[in-house]
Chain A
Amino acid sequence: MFVTVTANSRYDSLSGEGEKAMLNTQLKMTQTQQALYTLDTYKPLARGLRKNGCEEGNQLWLHVHLPQFSLDILTCGNSNKEACVLVEGQGTGSKIVQANSHAARLGVRLGMSLSAAKILGNLTVLSRNERAESLTLERLCAWAYQFTPIISATPPDGLLLEIKSSLKLFGGIEGLLTQVRRGLRDLGHKAVIAVAPTPAAATVLARAERQCVILSEQELPKALGPLPLEALRLDPKQLAVLKSIGARLIEDCLRLPRGGLGRRTAPKLIENFSQLLGQSPDPRQRFSLPKLFQSQIEIPWETSNAQSLGIAGGRLLHELTGYLRSCSAVTRRLRWSLNYTAGHSSHFQLELAQPSRDYDHFALLLRERLSRIQLEGKVKGMALYVDDVSPDQVVAERDLFKQRSVGGNEDWPSFLDRLRARLGEQVVKGLQQVADHRPECAWRWSDIPSNPNTSTPTTGSPAKVPARPLWLMRHPIRLHKEKGHLDINGPLRFVSERERIETGWWDGEPVRRDYFVATNPCGERLWIYRELAGGKDWYLHGIFE
């Protein structure tokens, strides 16, 4: 097939550039995808189709038809709670074009007038958002990139995938279909999927809601024949002409002599029928993958409940992980924004200790984060933006060999991510020593290494150091003398020599102090100092715990 050929030659040229080590299939796939990615954005497949058009079974197209696409977009996250219908037209002429299962259970049928449907029960009436539809369709294409590099959007409510070359990787047609179906379900779409050797046939079959798999072109006339002409979505004028000569089904038209039919209707129609049966080429615009991930979801019922935000966010995460899998990439920063009904929006990000594309991990972190976030009002929309996408060099999925049990074998990066998501980025810290004589400057908080094995543990300094307490006060506590004595739970007794620390004059925080170790009758050992400058006050600075 031409695409594979192009990709391979591209791959060869890449391997010449020093990437010969990439031998495993996964990375080869990546290479192929990247190679395809760099091809012309909208290069039609016409050349390949002409070359291979007469050969048998070179292509297999999968059409995903989304019968409730407009409604799915408008009701995402909450579609299972209320009866929703989508209407078209104005005033009394408005008709129902899509209805969800709840509405169908009430007795709502497609094509009903809205006023009639309203009698049946309490309906939520929605109208189409065409911009959101085209954006969502684009994201669906990006999501589908994980199955095949050859994708074409068929607006308004479907997409075409060329799957012949992907069959082996996904374990045959059944395996592939299962994965596509599961993915679409996770994304919250009801879908009808048909597979046929020509793109037009797959489209017609799926739109007629025939979930079938046709592998050879010979079977096409039999499968397409019994379908009504409406399934072709023809121009109304042409449809009227065909109806007037008594053709109702596709097979009626296929029986008619082509030349005559062409003269009476339009040559375009004949072309359509040839393309349907694979007798003439059918070039499609190819979808190309965007460089960054950006997606948003409208929440039709404004919510201030973190849990329902988690569900909506889960949809976005499914899209994201599909996209990341498509480009064999991982990310370590997820930027979220919440759009409030009042018009403003708030932002937060999830940072990962280790780049990942694991849905479960993302979803866990999002839930933890949402549980502690303070919502500023009702939320009407949610957006996810990921630009920090890096190619996955080593492991495809994290849990290749590791069995994950409940809280059992969690690894360090995910443990750290979970703590940070729940408690906040700044709350989880590491500790570091700093070479400075000033006690309060001899340490600092540090970042936690995501992989401690890479850092070499520093060994204890061999030089003889004066005693230092295990606890340091966050701020030195000023001591007051009682009857001329220092007193903390009893009179203090010095048990060490004086240690003078006088330094830091160069950076504006000079220290001039005399440090002592002192004990009281209770046995507490304390680290106290006396200022040499100013009022010569005494302070408690540490505890020898």
Chain B
Amino acid sequence: MSPVQNKSHESLEALLRHEKIWRAGEASLLAGIPTHFPVLDSLLPNHGWPQASLIEILTAQEGIGALRLMLPAIAQLTQTQWAIWVCPPHVPYAPALQAAGVVLERLLIVEPDTSEQMDLNYVLWVFEQALRFVDCGIAMAWIGTAQYDRLRRLQLACEQGQTCGVMFRPESFAIQPSPAVLRLSLTGNADSTSIRILKSQGGVRNRNCQLAL
């Protein structure tokens, strides 16, 4: 190889190593946050929840373990960082969280006194601020209808704040496009929950797994 060729080859390599360049089929360089569910880990790129990304979890009904799925990650992240809950639908129950190893002192819950304050703009504003905040490890919000560009802002906020953002949404939004890096759909059965990967950047999609949550 001539020196000129060699040089151009090197500069191309350097360019491809740039953090802003993402090549399809190659997972991001950041290691994933372990889900603590080995079956799920094996299906996700980097063997865990993607870091600094928006994750969307779609469920048809409550009580099938959507939050329990995130609980090990919350427990791990609250050891060093903050976990912010934006307008949760019910009260997060402290004894259960503590039993799961979550550090209660690092939880911040935004809950207005009256429910009419909880409109979509309010939730999205708080969620975005939480995602942009560097010391926040994970932020969770329960969001219904939202425009694509608002969700795109959230994804950018995740990248800016290096925060893991989790949106819990009803199953009916599965058909709408979403900028989330990872989209999971949860369906409850009598004794287990089946998880389908709708979208996984840098990974495989349309895979299923069964977890007893």
A112 nearest CB across to chain B (Å):
53
A524 adjacent to chain B (CB < 8 Å):
yes
Question: Is the Cβ of A419 less than 8 Å from the Cβ of B105?
Answer: no
The distance in angstroms between the C-alpha atoms of A460 and B94, with both chains bound, is 11
Say whether A545 contacts B105, CB under 8 Å: no
> Is residue B104 contacting chain A, with contact meaning CB distance below 8 A?
yes
Residue from the list B93, B103, B105, B191 in contact with A443, Cβ < 8 A? B93
Tell me if B113 is interfacial: C-beta within 8 Å of chain A: yes
How big is the A interface, by class? Answer: 35 or more
Q: A431-B104, A542-B93 known; A412 and B190 CB under 8 Å? A: no
Do A415 and B109 touch across chains, with their CB atoms under 8 A apart? no
Partner of A524, one of B67, B90, B94, B188: B188
CA distance in complex: A152, B2 (Å): 80
Q: Which of B67, B96, B106, B110 has the most CB of A within 10 A?
A: B96
Task: Select one of A410, A434, A524 contacting B64, CB under 8 A.
Answer: A524
- Assuming A442-B95, A472-B90, is B112 touching A427 (CB within 8 A)? yes
Inter-subunit contact A407/B160 (CB<8 Å): yes
Instruction: Report the nearest A residue to B93, measured CB to CB.
Output: A472
Whether, in the assembled complex, B146 has its beta carbon less than 8 Å from a beta carbon of chain A, the answer is no
Which of A305-313, A335-343, A448-456 lies on the face that meets chain B?
A448-456
Asked if A519 and B190 sit within 8 Å, CB to CB, the answer is yes
Taking the complex as formed, is B192 at the interface, i.e. its CB lies under 8 A from any CB of chain A? yes
* Cα of A411 to Cα of B93 in the assembled complex, Å: 28
Q: In the complex the two chains form, is B61's CB within 8 Å of A489's CB?
A: yes
CB pair B105 A460 closer than 8 Å: no
Q: Are B193 and A412 in contact (CB under 8 A)?
A: no
A window 400-435: CB within 8 A of B: 407-412, 415-416, 418-419, 422-424, 426-434
**Which of A410, A411, A458, A521 touches B98 (beta carbons < 8 Å)?**
A458
| Contact, CB under 8 Å: A470 / B188 | no
The answer to whether the Cβ of A65 comes within 8 Å of any Cβ in the partner chain is: no
- A457-B105 in contact given A433-B94, A468-B96, A472-B91 (Cβ < 8 Å): yes
Binding site for B on A (CB under 8 A): 407-412, 415-416, 418-419, 422-424, 426-434, 439, 442-445, 448-449, 452, 455, 457-458, 460-461, 465, 468-474, 489, 519, 521-526, 542-545
Apart from the given pairs A419-B110, A470-B96, A525-B65, 16 other A-B contacts in the complex at a CB distance below 8 Å: A412-B82, A412-B135, A419-B126, A426-B113, A431-B107, A449-B105, A457-B103, A458-B105, A460-B99, A468-B95, A470-B67, A472-B92, A473-B91, A489-B61, A522-B188, A543-B62
Q: List 28 A-B contacts (CB under 8 A).
A: A408-B160, A410-B133, A423-B126, A427-B112, A430-B105, A431-B97, A432-B94, A442-B94, A444-B94, A452-B106, A458-B98, A458-B103, A458-B105, A468-B93, A470-B67, A470-B97, A471-B67, A472-B90, A473-B90, A519-B190, A522-B188, A523-B188, A523-B193, A524-B188, A543-B90, A545-B62, A545-B67, A545-B68
